[in-house]
Structure 1
Amino acid sequence: MRKNLKILITFAIVILLGMIAFIWLKQTQPSVKNASPQKAAKLAKVKHINLVTLGDSLTEGIGDDKGEQGYSGRIAKRIEIQYNIAVNMSNFGKSGDRSDQIQERLTAQPKFQHAVKQANVIVLTSGGNDLQQSLLKNVFAKTPTDLTTAVVSEQATYQTKLTRLFHEIRTYNRQAPIFIFGNYNPLFVHFPQREDLNQDVQRFNTINSHAAKQDKNSYYVDSFDLTFGQYRSKKMRQSLGQQAVKKATEDQNSNQAMTATLMGATHVNNTWISQTDNYHPNNIGYNYMTTQLYHVMRKEQEKWLIKH
């Protein structure tokens, strides 16, 4: 009996030690989620990914003085370098597209649909042209409050359109994570005293963020600091605001000035924005967008480092 008891005790101890070792190894062994980029790619056994970018002019790369397709080309290169994997990037950005027009292109173009189906990761820009259309339509509003009221009234319409766009994307690909950018206020350096314009942009950004949360496998990427460019400190912004107030008192037609700025006809003094059109990011701005996107993608790397 004693001999059998000793055998059972020994067996139980061996089993227990084995379980402890297994748990310890599992906890100490890096996972795809928390591993360094190159280690994560090796753990996932991924040697290449398909990256699809879609949206408006920010995806197309308008204003990019380096000719790298804006954030699209830059994020593809950064992933290749950091993860040591090949990236097949397909860019379906089109300048001027609103959210509904992006959806219409996806619905109508088989090549676009095929790329989305094959994607490991999808990146989207949307909302900038929807908001710009609203601002231009209501540019002659008598007060900032009236303008905001008009913008707020169109939020529901944009939310419906963006929801439809997400549904259309998911029709072709349910697995790939979607990373959606927020937008910025390119008018800030011209009208720094108009805090309402910043708030209007943030209202549309809230819709983008909400759409990502609703999808469950989508992630919001903040790019609002493009608004301020080189005006990083509160003191610098206050000084800019004082200059703007002085200019506004000298300006005989503020509505005309606002329209000209919205159409990209005035000089801009934001070093993160292209002086070609005074509206879109330049090399510095797209580098910033790429860094913002990379940080979010790095955090969620286990969602897109998956073999097809």
Structure 2
Amino acid sequence: MSRLKKARQILIDLGLFIGVILGVFIIWQLFMPRPNQIQKTVISTRTSQKRINTKKQKTLQLVAIGDSLTHGVGDESHKEGYVSLIADQIKQVTNHPVKTTNYGVTGDTSVQIEKRVRSQKSLQKKLSKANIVTLTVGGNDLMTVLQNNFFELNQSRIIAGQKKYQAHLLTLMTQIRKYNPEAPVFILGVYNPFYVYFPEITGMSKAVAEWNKTAQAVADDFKTVYYVDSNRMITRGDGHFVKQTQSLAKMDSTQLKKTLAANENLNPYISPDDHFHPNHLGYQRITKALWYVMDAHKQTWD
């Protein structure tokens, strides 16, 4: 090949090489993000992350309404019983801060709780902003029916009391829904605090079971209202019972007090101060039952 042809071939090859380089450069320029595009992408990513973090930090408003169990009577730690415990559980699992407002009043029946919901402006305001509502109710209604017939339970009186309780609970739930139609409501059932001391009084356990059926039925009548079975977590304690030399029902008050004092630790979940309300361990058990139901319906409040 002559020198001229070789030079010409070199020029052609060089041109092709330069063309390829230019092509790659042009394509690179077309598809490579500009600095402002990179900045926008970074800002967008940070904004998305910020939104995620904001969601995680949303403060949940928990409004607790009810009787002495919401108040936390019997809790030797003096930390509002299950209310503070369930708030801690929510924080631990979801990372959401939780603000609780406690409207528990010792001794209140369903009628009295409903009256407070209907008349207290501060309660109504808090309730309207609640993400979660808990309710303890029914124990005092039941004890009102049983107080004069504890050892000889009148079945007809219990049935009549149950019907009244159902009507009152329906009215109460209607009032709660008036101020907050959407937030899930968790109704905690009642339990038999005397079971380990009076296992022979089967009517008491039957009355508790019927009361809880009523709460379950009312819960089923409303959207996002759930029943929590506290009875099975508290009533039977650790499975031991009072060693009786005679029927507790036939003891005089002095004998009864001595027997209860000697056996005060048989139900480790009931306060020895009154043999009625849960102690701190008892409230932990109630919280466990509550969380089980709350977790199953997490989509309604998280």
* Length-normalised TM-score, structure 2: 0.76
* Matching of residue 154 in structure 1 with residue 161 in structure 2: yes
- CA positional deviation for 1:109: 1.1
Q: CA RMSD in A?
A: 2.5
Q: Percent identity?
A: 35
Q: Comparing both chains, which one has the higher relative contact order based on Cα–Cα distances under 8 Å and sequence gaps of 6 or more?
A: 1
CA distance in 2, matches of 1:87, 1:290: 15
Q: Deviations over 1:8-53 (max 9, x none)?
A: xxxxxxxxxxxxxxxxxxxxxxxxxxxxxxxxxx699352210011
Match of 1:37 in 2: none
Q: Which has the larger radius of gyration?
A: 2
Q: Pick closer, same or farther for the CA change 1:85–1:278 going to 2, 3 Å.
A: same
Letter in 2 for 1:91: N
Residue 200 of structure 1: which of 196, 207, 217 is its match?
A: 207
Range that drifts further, 78-87 or 266-275: 266-275
Task: Output one character per residue of 1:215-259: Cα deviation in whole Å (capped at 9) or x when no partner.
Answer: 12101100112111111xxxx4xxx37x33x32189455xx699x
Amino acid at match of 1:282: N
Corresponding residue of 2:3: none
Give the counterpart of 1:173 among 165, 170, 180.
180
State whether residues 65 and 135 of structure 2, in contact with CA within 8 Å, keep that contact through their aligned partners in structure 1.
yes
Runs of 4+ in 1 over 6 A off after TM superposition: none
Instruction: Please give the residue correspondences for 1:1-308 in structure 2 after superposition, counting only pairs within 5 Å.
Output: 45-46=55-56, 47-139=58-150, 141=152, 144=153, 147-225=154-232, 226-231=234-239, 236=240, 240=241, 243-244=243-244, 246-248=245-247, 251-253=250-252, 266-267=260-261, 268=264, 269-305=266-302
Letter in 1 for 2:203: D
Identify if the C-alpha distance between structure 1 residues 220 and 109 changes in structure 2 by more than 3 Å, giving closer, same or farther.
Answer: same
Whole-angstrom distance in 2 between the partners of 1:50 and 1:250 = 46
Q: In 2 relative to 1, CA 272–212 (structure 1 residues): closer, same or farther, beyond 3 Å?
A: same
Post-superposition Cα deviations, 1:264-306, rounded to whole Å, max 9, x if no partner, equal x95333111001111100011000000111111111011011x
- Return closer, same or farther for 1:249/1:139 CA change in 2, 3 Å cut-off: closer
Q: Is the 8 A contact 1:138 1:150 kept in 2?
A: no
Q: Deviations over 1:167-200 (max 9, x none)?
A: 0101100010100011100111111112221111
SS at match of 1:65: coil
Structure 2 counterpart of 1:137, one-letter code: N
Using the alignment, how far apart are the partners of 1:286 and 1:90 within structure 2? 17
Structure 1 residues without counterparts, runs of 5 or longer: 1-41
One-letter code of the match for 2:162?
A: Q
Retained in 1: the 8 A contact 2:151–2:249? no
Number of positions where the alignment pairs a residue of Structure 1 with one of Structure 2: 246
List alignment gaps of at least 5 residues for structure 2. 1-51
| Cα offsets for 1:91-127 (capped at 9, x unmatched) | 1001000001001111221111111000001000010
C-alpha distance in 1, partners of 2:88/2:236? 26
SS in 2 for 1:215: coil
Q: Provide TM-score, normalisation by structure 1.
A: 0.74
